Amino acid sequence: MPPEKIEIFKSMESWATKNILTHLKPVEKSWQPQDFLPQADSEGFYEQVKELRERSKELPDDYFVVLVGDMITEEALPTYQTALNTLDGVRDETGASLSPWAVWNRGWTAEENRHGDLLNKYLYLSGRVDMRQIEKTIQYLIGCGMDPKTENNPYLGFIYTSFQERATFISHGNTARLAKEHGNMKLAQICGIIAADEKRHETAYTKIVEKLFEIDPDATILALADMMRKKISMPAHLMFDGQDDNLFENYSAVAQRIGVYTAKDYADILEFLVGRWKVEKLTGLSGEGHKAQDFVCGLPPRIRRLEERAQGRVKQASTAPFSWVFGRELKL
């Protein structure tokens, strides 16, 4: 990024301390995975595990495939912290920098780290999934990394994270809803508490972009249009289990079918962010900025129309085996 753009992020540091770091919770006031799992040091541990396993029997395989996919996405956290540290002007320059951007990156990572831990332990105790295949998938995914197309640019990076945090908030919220519908209140609580974290993180990232629109509206609207032309790819898009070359697409198809994360959600997120950032009301833009504004504001209905056509062409009969549920075939 040009030096004058990097300077914008330097100038925002005191603002970030007051407005962004407040969205991190102190460790001593944070929930931990053990708060929601059987207590290994208690006399009733085996009974608690038995009850967890009995409850999990009520949930179908397609639910577990989506829950596993969500958990694997959370477990690839080293990749996401690395990605944040590629961004010019906000990266952690030393690994323990005290700049508010670096403190946020590490604090965000520490909070997110609990999500994969909690879901991983729950899935292991449930006995419903092939943990070795899941562990292989996590290793493959961290090894493969991700390409969010943010190009070391924090304008692009914070737009991506705003979108992505809302997407994970929706996804975990829907797994909570489905668990509740199947009578599994403990799992609903687990997914719900993770969704609440994602919502808090979404609020922080959207505040950053809101501030960028205030300080540098032209560069910010051009960045938003750029990210939407590229399309926001999910963090786990390079997922592989050693067997299925289309694993991410197949997992996504199941998530779409059972209503955990859908193409409609993608359009809804963009519409929400356009409203949140008051994109339609931006003034003082360049000619290119005006074109970007028109493109972004007209995109949600276009995405919905394309999705309706695509759904009309979907073949109802297609299935795929998932190694995570011992190779059982599921409808896509």
Q: Helices (DSSP H) in 12-99: which residue ranges? A: 13-19, 45-56, 61-75, 77-84
Tell me the pLDDT of the chain (332 aa) as tens digits. 899 999 999 999 999 999 999 999 999 999 999 999 999 999 999 999 999 999 999 999 999 999 999 999 999 999 999 999 999 999 999 999 999 999 999 999 999 999 999 999 999 999 999 999 999 999 999 999 999 999 999 999 999 999 999 999 999 999 999 999 999 999 999 999 999 999 999 999 999 999 999 999 999 999 999 999 999 989 999 999 999 999 999 999 999 999 999 989 999 999 999 999 999 999 999 999 999 999 999 999 998 888 777 666 655 669 999 999 999 999 99
Q: Which run of H or E residues covers position 110?
A: helix 100-126
pLDDT given for residue 219 in this prediction: 97
- Catalytic member of 92, 117, 130, 197: 197
pLDDT given for residue 20 in this prediction: 98
Strand stretches in the chain, DSSP E: 319-322, 328-331
pLDDT given for residue 316 in this prediction: 61
User: Catalytic annotation on 109?
Assistant: no
Of 294, 157, 179, whose CA–CA distance to 227 is shortest? 157
User: Catalytic annotation on 168?
Assistant: yes
User: Catalytic annotation on 86?
Assistant: no
User: Catalytic annotation on 31?
Assistant: yes
- What is the pTM (predicted TM-score) of this model? 0.95
Phi then psi for 320, rounded to 5 degrees?
-155, 145
